A and B are shown apart, each in its own frame.
Chain A
Amino acid sequence: MIWRRLKHLLPSRRRAEERDMQEELDALVQIAGERELGNLTLAAENARETWQWTSLDAVVADVRYAFRGLRKNPGFAAVAITTLAVGIGANTAIFSVVNSLFLRPLPVQDPYRLVVLAPRERGSSEFHDLSYPDYRDYRAHAGAFSDMLGFAVGMDGIAVDQGTHQVLTSYVTGNYFSMLGVRPALGRFIEPAEAETPGAAPVLVLGYTCWQRQFNSDPGVIGKSARLNGHAVMIVGVAPEQFHGTFSLAETDAYLPVGMLAIEDSSFWTARGKRELRAIARLKPGMSLKQGRASLQVIARSLAEQYPDTNKYTSMEAYPEWRARPQPDSAGSWPAMVGIFLTLAFIVLLVACVNLASILRARGNARESEMAVRSALGAARGRLVRQLLTENVLLAIVGGAAGILLSTWISMVLSSICTPIDLPMVRLNFRPDWRVFAYAFGVALLAGLMVGLGPMRSAWRSNLSIVLHEGGRALSGSRRRNRRNVLVVTQVAASMVLLIAAGLLVRSLEGAQRMNLGFDPHHVLNLSMDLHQIGYDESRGKNFYGELLARARALPGVESAAFVFSVPFFHDRFLSTVHIEGRPLSPGAAPSDVSYNVIDPALFQTLRIPILRGRGFNEADNETAPPVAIVSQAMAERFWPGQDPVGKRFRITKPTNPLLEVVGVARNAKFVRPTPEAEPYFYVPLSQNYTARMTLQVRSSRPAEALEREVLHEIRALAPDLPTYDVRTMEESLGGTMGFFLFRVGADLAAGLGILALFLTIVGVYGVSSYAASQRTHEIGLRMALGATGQDILRMVLGEGLRLIGTGVLIGLGIALAVSRAISSLLVGVSASDPMTYTAVSALLGGLALVAGYMPARRAMRVDVMVALRHE
């Protein structure tokens, strides 16, 4: 039975069937006469229908027919497929970014049951990490989870034979690999006893890429010893190739026992204030996220009662793992951004589809007669609609395939746009997977339907007699023209919305860059280093800092040099609660979090931040002197409004910590983020707050490359093994993840999409106008014969275009005004209804569209009356 149907798929078989049917009908005509048998063409068409409808043959026949149609019109096919490819490609590329960032699950067992713990202090919008004892308590008591792992991410120095490399490390609990259910590619993983027993011999598991890159995939590394930050470790295994660790976006190079965090400070095991771990838990089967959250909150409350010093204000939330990349984010700014860009990309698709619809409309002229003739010969309407549907879907699929190809190229461009300068290890893998293909396919089908709806509807309704009797000219009827006008208006309006969004984002980038940062980023070179990585202790470190500063300042052309923990917009910073002396917290109020920085006294000169009151730090502020701090204007106004803050004192972290005395007030400088409002901020001296990871900032009018070489030379002379990283000018560094990065990505993406839409719209308007003008040649000829001048014709044609484009621009402006609020969270220094953007975009789009409409109109004006009248 199935074979009987399938064999119809063979073209030869089908031809034989067709021949046989003709012979049979001919024979019957011989017997009965044509009159007796009635409409044989209809009978044959219906017979064909029955066997086609029951077999796949119908589809094959339609597809073959559609292919033939495309081959016969290569120009049309090329334009249509390119247009679709642009629309589908843009959408697929944006989606593949979303996919790689948020949708692709971790390559572990049952990834959708993983939940990230997100502890937060009351009043703070940001989540923090967990201390080891807190982690133990959550792990032991959270009943909704079958297991819970903890890990801490670090940048460390690893030395195998010689030379130290900086690697991204994860310090993991003993159940890390077993809970995730991954198997080692080589050797073994870290045993529970090795990970969480004080004093256990340290072991190391290499990431697969690190093993390939730094060890040439040598299986002999197992059992080798290495030095991590100067401590001996033994390499025991290699992680599998697909597994990149649980710190999403970046690839972990080495996994270490969490106990190594306690080597230099054994309070790690017990101090609840030492928050260093991120925890991921696995929900028990049948447990919901809500239940999981509830069970965590119970523990958070009991910890707050038991340990009020550290846990009093801590509350606990939890997010599915894919929602917490790269870290839990309560504001949900990533999903918002993703939604905005998917929408913008969708507008490009809409514009592309409208273009294609216009082209099909023009081409529909010829098709209309074909359809009418087939219909008159007895083809069912359903059959014709199906044929058109097949053609559009085929077009969409070919366009979609081209779009996927295009999107892999766009993705390559995107991954270079989207790799932040300060986090080069970020792993952006936009490689398409089934989700991307499914999305592209869905978008392509949608495009096919959008494009095909018009022609399909008219085929369904096609009024035979009109088409057959009045021929081509019936097609310039007013209903038809109206539909064409709708297409133009839609296209212009959609492009307006997209271009305004793009304009606002570009203006926002300008706004961010134009912003008064409060420091001078020009002519400053940054070099980062971490003395931990070569195992320096505090006293060696302090010597090194002093020595390097002296050598750097002695280099020719160096104006000033200083160490700083967080350079402006650095991805890491200190954040602490602040307790003001003599001002106990009112009950129930949570202390405020303030960001601060550890600096060398000369930083204020190096970044040219003026001290407004009091003094800067100096040599006298050393370990033995009373602890001091310098606060920003914003911090002074927040905590001591109307008073002189100099001489006031405060504590950080805990109310029992030593008091810091404010010795000066510095002008507001934006260290954390380029936001318009100034946040409270303060500085403490490096001499009183030793930190192993610092950045050297050197101000010099000399070119950065020469200076860089000389400074690196001095570092190597002092500590030959010390790796340096993030070596770049301060201006470059402003483009980092916390700096202008997102502004730039947003502006680049939106501008790219905007240019695509603009291009498509111009082409579309030009095409529609040309077609309209050619359709009206006869009418124009008549008007001219009746005395209209070329000027009149030009005015008429252009006036019509102007009206259409104006309508589109106005509608677009209205929609943009209504929806631009959605992107206001991404805007800095420009309002969502920025009149300049709206005016400029209207002028640009309106102007270009008019030019595109003008050229065909000019041609129409020059029409020869006789030719036009004879035109049919």
Chain B
Amino acid sequence: MELLQGTLDMLTLRTLLFGPLHGYGIAKAIRSTSNEMLEIEFGSLYPALKRLEAKGWIASKWETSEHNRRAKYYRLTHAGRKQLTREHSKWTEFVDAITRVMGNAPGEVER
């Protein structure tokens, strides 16, 4: 399933709420959390990470992974946490609004 435009940043921030991850780890986490429904292109995720970092919502640090491999780990900053809250409430409103417009599936529309 393709990602809805503009949701990647939000998904990334939400994923990092559980703790620091490296770039590939974030992609894997989103994929598994969504029951393999969401396909994350690393080519889009990586620039998004750089963008979020430039905005100060996430921070990065070189660390050693569980398999004793070095990787750059990203974690949520304080500002990022606040941003996530904002995005979350915006997203809820958005879903509510869309649901209200779409209503039931077309087959069940009353005559």
Using a CB–CB distance below 8 Å, which chain A residues touch chain B? 1, 4-5, 20, 23-25, 27-28, 30-32, 36-40, 42-44, 46-47, 49-51, 54-55
- Smallest Cβ distance from B72 to chain A, in angstroms? 4
Q: Are A47 and B47 in contact (CB under 8 A)?
A: yes
Partner of B54, one of A23, A32, A37, A51: A51
Q: What residues on B are CB-neighbors of A49 within 8 Å?
A: 47
A54 touches B54 (CB 8 A): yes
Majority SS of interface residues in chain A? Answer: helix
* A38 B42 Cβ-Cβ under 8 A: yes
- Nearest chain A CB to B49 CB, angstrom units: 8
> B69 touches which one: A4, A20, A31, A51 (CB < 8 A)?
A31
Chosen A-B contacts, 8 in total, with CB atoms closer than 8 Å, are A5-B54, A24-B71, A24-B72, A25-B46, A31-B69, A39-B43, A50-B48, A54-B54
Interface residues of B, Cβ cutoff 8 Å to A: 22-24, 41-44, 46-51, 54-56, 65, 67, 69-72
Contacts of A46 in B (CB 8 A): 43-44, 46-47
Given A31-B24, A38-B43, A43-B46, verify A50-B69 contact (CB < 8 Å): no
Q: How far is the CB of A145 from chain B (nearest CB, A)?
A: 59
Q: Collect the chain B residues with CB atoms within 8 Å of residue A20's CB.
A: 72
Task: Report chain B residues within 8 Å CB of A30.
Answer: 69
With both chains docked as a complex, state the minimum distance between the C-beta of A181 and any C-beta of chain B, in angstroms: 53
B54 contacts A47, C-beta separation under 8 Å = no
* Total of A-B residue pairs, C-beta within 8 Å: 64
Chain B residue, CB-CB nearest to A46:
B47
B44 CB contacts on chain A under 8 angstroms: 46
Which residues from A are CB-within-8-Å of B47? 43, 46-47, 49-50
- A32 and chain B: residue at smallest CB distance: B24
**Complex Cα distance A629/B43, Å?**
99
Contacting residues, chain B, for A54 (C-beta < 8 A): 51, 54
A50 to B46, CA, bound (A): 10
CB distance from A61 to the nearest CB of B (A): 16
Q: Which chain A positions have C-beta within 8 A of B43?
A: 38-40, 42-43, 46
Query: Is the beta-carbon distance between A28 and B50 smaller than 8 angstroms?
Result: no
8 closest Cβ pairs, A-B complex? A46-B47, A43-B46, A47-B50, A43-B43, A24-B72, A32-B24, A47-B47, A50-B51
The contact of A27 among B51, B56, B71, by CB within 8 Å, is: B71
In the assembled complex, the Cα of A38 lies from the Cα of B54 at a distance in Å of 24
Report the bound CA distance from A653 to B51 in whole Å.
85
Give CA–CA (A24, B70) in the complex, Å: 9
Chain B residues with CB under 8 A of A31: 22, 24, 65, 67, 69, 71
How far, in angstroms, from A40 to B41 measured CA to CA in the complex? Answer: 11
Q: Once the chains are docked, how many angstroms separate the CA of A23 from the CA of B46?
A: 13
Which residues of B sit under 8 angstroms from A55, Cβ to Cβ? Answer: 54
Residues of B within 8 A of A23 (CB): 72
Q: Pick the contact of A43 from B42, B51, B54, B71 — CB < 8 Å?
A: B42
Is B69 in contact with A27, judged by CB distance below 8 angstroms?
A: yes
Closest chain-A Cβ to B83's Cβ sits at a distance in Å of 13
| Chain A residues closer than 8 Å to B56, beta-carbon distance | 1, 4
A27 to B42, CA, bound (A): 14
Which residue on chain A has the smallest CB distance to residue B25?
Answer: A31
B50 partner residues in chain A, CB cutoff 8 A: 47, 50-51
Q: How far is the CA of A711 from the CA of B14 in the complex (A)?
A: 103
Shortest Cβ gap from A51 to chain B (Å)? 6
A51-B65 Cα distance, complex, nearest whole Å:
27
Known: A46-B43, A47-B47. A28 touches B71 (CB 8 A): yes
Closest to B24 in A: A32
